């Protein structure tokens, strides 16, 4: 095993950061920047032991700088965009040599702010792509789906799919006959999360069958007080519906799979590569709310089938989204970039 | 580390007056860049406890409002600081009661380089102007009938609308590029004092800015009546301008801030 690495980073998305820092704990320590934009949510995820808080970047102390970016960083005034740009400037003002690696969990899809015209069917904006890649500036970029890699069309990049610890996601044998979704009610864009689609599905289910789909965290639906309650709710839910269109590999879907929910998902961003329709989940097109509503309600009425498919989905998640695979993907990348020696 | 950057907002008066104007005249200083190494951090109304605790260099809290009245844990934050700077003696007196740290008064001043030349006055006044945050605009309520009686129009330059039917009012949104022109488009600045509550801690920075712009400042009805006459306004404007030029130059604040920094031995 090579020399232990020191990595400089800021907090960004606590769940992803936690997975990354913990996965790399055998080979790396992290200096996390104290900043006024992004905090560590220690109520839900304790800070891993291989982490220390730092006030600034110190030349010679780090082997790698990891910066986060996504399509919102194209908006100059937005807090996280300021943080990423400032950190890049701070590092490069004193150190021209340290490798900078960008983690980009976004896509070049942001029609609310970047509509290049109506000719596109996949909503990818070339203008947005250019703006983000200008910030990345030739450095290496890690994305989190193969479709995202294709959409960014940036050679110096690869997809590393998240990896979780199944032990952190309880799976109950007691399943309530309910369906749920956890998608941010605000932020980025409606098309990205396909919120309008979700709302249409919810309306149809309510009107046709009187079923209240639980959009977790929104008014009138289940509001967890913390991650413990959220995990418990998922572990007892029968069906999980993922409506997203451009969100590459939502971790909420993986969490639901690990919790044993029967997954109904749109096919975008690689989903169709690990969900076999009717076997370990169900695929529904992202533009047909009637069909999606029908699949969900049919599953809620066919309890045993939904439970069985949910368990097969869990097995898939344990295999595809394992922490070990994720760790090895990162180690391979750091080795390929000659930052780490295995 | 400016309050407006911390809040991710633009055009916060205290950050401009107590931060940016000093930075503009202080080559060794800059707006805080997250991730960069510094010898000194001036926390301008920013209570970032984690940074205050971890940062090993010189730490100064610059405070221009009685933030503890809003529940901020000022005393705990001061434990991590080396010195405090404030714009008024009133604030100094209040803060000195709960800390042993040195508290220095550095008054609000003006970056003269950034200001328009003073206005020249003539003829009968037609328009008075008030500028400031909308949460302070209630000071105008008692003046409206007198403004109408004198046949004046009131211009309000603010972040939020002020309206009333008691006298003619023009509203202009405060803008960093136009605020000085908008003030100088008028004949008198109307800046009545609030003499209660948190206002007692405030510095007269708006008055000083108005004087630098060559504007007479009316605090009372008597002032307003006197400034209706063009010659009176010009005389007042000239006197106040030369005082302000002498006493309100931000370069003085820069020297005072340098002295505070130098006084901290680390």
pLDDT band at B229 (very low <50, low <70, confident <90, very high): very high
Beta pairing partners, B64: none
**pLDDT, tens digit, 9 for 90 and up, residues A12-25:** 999 999 999 999 99
- Res B71: pLDDT: 86
Indicate yes or no: CB of B54 within 8 angstroms of CB of A93.
no
* Whole-structure pTM value: 0.89
CB of B250 within 8 A of CB of B21?
yes
Q: Is A305 at the interface with chain B, CB within 8 A?
A: no
**What is the 3-state secondary structure of B160-185?**
CCCCCCCCCEEEEECCCCCHHHHHHC
CB of B263 within 8 A of CB of B102?
yes
Average pLDDT for B22-26: 97
**pLDDT, tens digit, 9 for 90 and up, residues B146-171:** 999 999 999 999 999 998 999 999 99
Rounded CA-CA distance B217/B188 in Å is 6
Residues with Cβ within 8 Å of B176's Cβ and at least 6 positions away in sequence, in order, are B11, B16
Tokens encoding A23: 């996965």
Cβ pairs bridging A and B (under 8 Å) = 59
- Res B246: pLDDT: 95
Picking from A56, A72, A93 by the largest number of B CB atoms within 10 A of its own CB, the best residue to mutate is A56
- Res A270: pLDDT: 95
Q: How many alpha carbons lie under 13 Å from residue B56 in its C-beta half-sphere? A: 4
**Domains of chain B as residue ranges with CATH:** 3-109+250-263 (no CATH), 113-247 (3.40.50.2000)
pLDDT band at B196 (very low <50, low <70, confident <90, very high): confident
Phi, psi of A170, rounded to the nearest 5 degrees: -60, 150
CB of A125 within 8 A of CB of A111?
yes
CATH 3.40.50.2000 fits A166-320, yes or no: yes
- Res A120: pLDDT: 55
Rounded CA-CA distance B167/B144 in Å is 6
Residues of B in contact with A86 (CB under 8 A): 33-36
Reply yes or no on whether the pLDDT at A327 is more than 70. Answer: yes
A166-320 has the same fold as A5-163+322-336: yes
Rounded CA-CA distance A263/A286 in Å is 14
What CATH code would you report for A5-163+322-336?
3.40.50.2000
Indicate yes or no: CB of A10 within 8 angstroms of CB of B6.
no
Residue with tokens 């800015």: B209
Tokens encoding B249: 């130059």
Reply yes or no on whether the pLDDT at A46 is more than 60. Answer: yes
**pLDDT, tens digit, 9 for 90 and up, residues B237-253:** 999 999 999 999 999 99
Tokens encoding A144: 């989190």
Beta pairing partners, A51: A30
Q: How many alpha carbons lie under 13 Å from residue A133 in its C-beta half-sphere? A: 18
Average pLDDT for A160-188: 94
Distance from A64 to chain B by nearest Cα, in Å? 14
Q: Where are the domains of chain A?
A: 5-163+322-336, 166-320
CA dihedral in degrees (A119, A124, A129, A130; nearest 10)? -10
pLDDT band at A190 (very low <50, low <70, confident <90, very high): confident
Residue with tokens 């089938």: A305
């Amino acid at each position: 095993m090579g020399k232990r690495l020191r990595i400089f980073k800021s907090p960004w998305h606590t769940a992803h950061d936690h997975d990354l820092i913990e996965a790399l704990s055998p080979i790396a320590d992290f200096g996390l920047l104290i900043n006024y934009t992004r905090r560590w949510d220690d109520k839900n995820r304790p800070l891993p032991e291989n982490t220390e808080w730092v006030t600034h970047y110190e030349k010679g102390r780090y082997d790698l700088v990891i910066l986060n970016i996504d399509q919102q960083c194209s908006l100059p005034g937005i807090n996280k965009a300021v943080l990423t740009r400032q950190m890049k400037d701070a590092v490069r003002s004193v150190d021209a040599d340290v490798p900078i690696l960008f983690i980009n969990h976004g896509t070049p899809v942001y029609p609310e702010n970047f509509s290049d015209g109506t000719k596109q069917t996949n909503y990818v904006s070339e203008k947005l792509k250019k703006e983000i890649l200008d910030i990345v500036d030739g450095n290496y970029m890690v994305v989190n789906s193969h479709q995202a890699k294709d959409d960014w069309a940036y050679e110096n990049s690869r997809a590393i799919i998240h990896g979780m610890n199944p032990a952190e996601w309880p799976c109950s044998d007691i399943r309530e006959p309910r369906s749920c979704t956890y998608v941010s009610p605000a932020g980025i864009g409606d098309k990205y999360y396909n919120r309008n689609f979700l709302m249409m599905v919810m309306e149809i289910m309510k009107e046709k069958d009187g079923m209240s789909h639980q959009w977790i965290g929104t008014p009138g639906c289940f509001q967890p007080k913390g991650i413990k309650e959220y995990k418990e709710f998922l572990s007892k839910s029968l069906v999980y519906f993922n409506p997203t269109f451009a969100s590459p590999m939502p971790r909420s879907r993986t969490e639901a799979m690990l919790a044993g929910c029967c997954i109904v998902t749109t096919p975008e961003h690689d989903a169709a590569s690990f969900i076999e329709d009717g076997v370990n989940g169900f695929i529904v097109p992202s533009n047909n709310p009637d069909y999606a509503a029908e699949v969900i309600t049919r599953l809620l009425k066919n309890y045993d089938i939904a439970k069985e498919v949910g368990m097969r989905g869990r097995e898939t998640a344990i295999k595809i989204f394992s922490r070990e695979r994720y760790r090895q993907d990162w180690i391979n990348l750091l080795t390929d970039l000659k930052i780490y020696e295995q | 580390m400016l309050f407006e950057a911390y809040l991710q907002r633009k055009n916060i008066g205290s950050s401009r007056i107590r931060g940016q104007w000093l930075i503009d005249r202080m080559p060794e200083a800059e707006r805080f860049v997250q991730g960069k190494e510094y010898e000194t951090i001036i926390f301008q109304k920013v209570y970032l406890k984690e940074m205050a605790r971890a940062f090993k260099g010189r730490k100064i809290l610059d405070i221009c409002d009685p933030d503890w009245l809003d529940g901020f844990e000022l005393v705990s934050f001061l434990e991590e600081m080396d010195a405090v700077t404030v714009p008024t003696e009133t604030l100094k007196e209040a803060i000195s009661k709960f800390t042993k740290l040195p508290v220095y008064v550095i008054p609000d001043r003006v970056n003269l380089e950034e200001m328009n030349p003073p206005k020249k006055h003539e003829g009968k006044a037609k328009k008075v102007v008030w500028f400031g945050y909308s949460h302070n605009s209630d000071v105008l309520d008692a003046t409206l009938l007198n403004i109408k009686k004198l046949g004046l129009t009131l211009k309000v330059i603010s972040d939020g609308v002020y309206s009333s039917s008691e006298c003619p009012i023009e509203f202009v949104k405060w803008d960093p590029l136009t605020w000085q022109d908008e003030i100088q488009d008028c004949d008198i600045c109307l800046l009545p004092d609030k003499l209660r509550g948190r206002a007692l801690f405030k510095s007269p920075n708006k008055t000083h800015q108005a004087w630098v712009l060559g504007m007479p400042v009316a605090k009372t009805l008597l002032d307003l009546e006197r400034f209706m006459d063009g010659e009176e306004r010009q005389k007042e404007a000239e006197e106040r301008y030369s005082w302000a030029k002498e006493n309100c130059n931000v370069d003085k604040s820069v020297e005072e801030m340098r002295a505070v920094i130098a006084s901290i031995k680390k």
